[in-house]
Structure 1
């Protein structure tokens, strides 16, 4: 593994999160790091200020709000990462890096030569462990989670899908949260990067699934820790983002069951996800009005 490491982060008016992201990188690794800020049309000046304050930061303007995965793909192509480095990191700008977190991910990559992606343990701002390492959403497990979770959060299908009851351990999983990933460039190039049909949400689930299909592994590395503030793009319009999540979920499931005789299954997915989206969006808007 070469000493220099590239970190790609996608911004859309990230505010103070980006400064904390860049400042805490010093705790994460002793390697020289180049940060590529793939900006999707920020208007708050934060990416420009970051480049002025941090000599290792590079600003790449994508030309519009292209979505997360597409912006990453554009930055990787612009800087030729798949031909110049063995690994690179993709992370949200509202991530704060834990001590040696990047070094620990890189060390794990040497232990897992077939790992296409590696992800750390992610903590919420309150210190709770976020379930960032999950199974792939099967028809039963994923479907029941999608439909039942809003009214029965502790249901067994959600617990199984999210691996809520599994102790943190270094292991292979179905997919890892795209908020922080170490990616092997050979694997990323083999599957042509992120699927650009996903504007936001589920692009990480799709990535993990396609990596496994191509013979690579997704490896959870809980010895590496980061904090995810979750305050970048998702908090601005919760109802809109919840609706977008359900659209992406349908896209993912429909892609996995594309045959003509599976049309009733796709119809069931669409109906159930539409009902769930309506429920959670109404609930989100009611909470927004109350607050």
Structure 2
């Protein structure tokens, strides 16, 4: 049986959008793993030429498939399109600025297999100094928690209390940078909600996994290096707009406060006021680079 005929255990899906040189490192880290896998790199109309260069450099590696979109579809829609072409029974959705090692990958697969009713498994994403991102272990961002986070009441906020654990725990949500889930769960959920463009679609997916009767699990003993926003540094206002738009959609779908018109108006005003207030600082940082 040829490599092309073999059915991979795992389909790794990476979405790129002018993600920069870190995309090469991410792809190399995946293809260095010994787990039988395929890698679907789906590109949202990048102009940096890096996906094409990766495709040329890896043209003899049958595990890699590069898919080109003519426009930027957004993160969730791109993952959904790659998933249709995937052959594995387990999906790993990986950010283009993450580095995954074989030991971490195998541990995630083991947790998915061993934990009863696990529908989605996340990892602890860390910066270059090994500091865990608090967003690895989150709770639903309902209005009360979002306000608590904004006003510095951490114990009542969106990020779970007590720091990021170093063992397997149940979570309400995990970081969208590294998400492992069975194909059957992804398909039952109809994948990502495509009305999100960028940001909050991971929170939405975690919530729907739980609403469907499965567990969201954080493998706290798995650490994955995450470079943080390779494609967002050169267009911060664009990314911020879609992040705030995603917040509003999540609120309307899942927060009980959305059923109270007066509260919904306040939340809408707060989200977009926050967006506007961030713009000057984002533009200053962009111009000083």
Match of 2:90 in 1: 87
Q: Does 1:106 align with 2:109?
A: yes
Shift of 1:44: 1.9
Q: Does 1:69 align with 2:69?
A: no
String of CA shifts for 1:172-200, please: whole Å, max 9, x gaps.
Answer: 11111111111111111111100000000
Secondary structure, counterpart of 1:207 in structure 2: helix
> What TM-score does the superposition give when structure 2 sets the normalisation length?
0.88
**Residues in 1 aligned to 2:144 and 2:258: alpha-carbon distance in whole angstroms:** 20
In structure 2, runs of 5+ residues without a counterpart are 1-6
- Structure 1 residues 94 and 290, CA, compared in 2 at 3 Å: closer, same or farther? closer
Match of 2:130 in 1: 127
Match of 2:197 in 1: 199
Match of 1:136 in 2: 140
Shift of 1:61: 1.7
**Residues in 1 aligned to 2:259 and 2:57: alpha-carbon distance in whole angstroms:** 57
**Residues in 2 aligned to 1:110 and 1:165: alpha-carbon distance in whole angstroms:** 27
Instruction: Please identify runs of 4+ aligned residues in structure 1 that moved more than 4 A.
Output: 257-261
Match of 1:16 in 2: 21
In structure 1, runs of 5+ residues without a counterpart are 149-153
Match of 2:47 in 1: 43
Asked if 2 retains the 8 angstrom alpha-carbon contact of 1:173 and 1:218, the reply is yes
String of CA shifts for 1:224-253, please: whole Å, max 9, x gaps.
Answer: 221111242121122332232111101110
String of CA shifts for 1:198-217, please: whole Å, max 9, x gaps.
Answer: 00000000000111111111
- Structure 1 residues 59 and 290, CA, compared in 2 at 3 Å: closer, same or farther? closer
Secondary structure, counterpart of 2:249 in structure 1: helix
Q: How does 1:22-37 map to 2 (within 5 A)?
A: 22-26=27-31, 29-37=33-41
Shift of 1:31: 1.2
- Structure 1 residues 6 and 258, CA, compared in 2 at 3 Å: closer, same or farther? same
**Residues in 2 aligned to 1:194 and 1:208: alpha-carbon distance in whole angstroms:** 10
Match of 1:151 in 2: none
- Higher mean alpha-carbon deviation, 261-270 vs 164-173, is at 164-173
> What TM-score does the superposition give when structure 1 sets the normalisation length?
0.87
Secondary structure, counterpart of 1:232 in structure 2: coil
- Structure 1 residues 261 and 3, CA, compared in 2 at 3 Å: closer, same or farther? closer
**How many residues align structurally?**
278
Asked if 1 retains the 8 angstrom alpha-carbon contact of 2:122 and 2:219, the reply is yes
Asked if 2 retains the 8 angstrom alpha-carbon contact of 1:142 and 1:161, the reply is yes
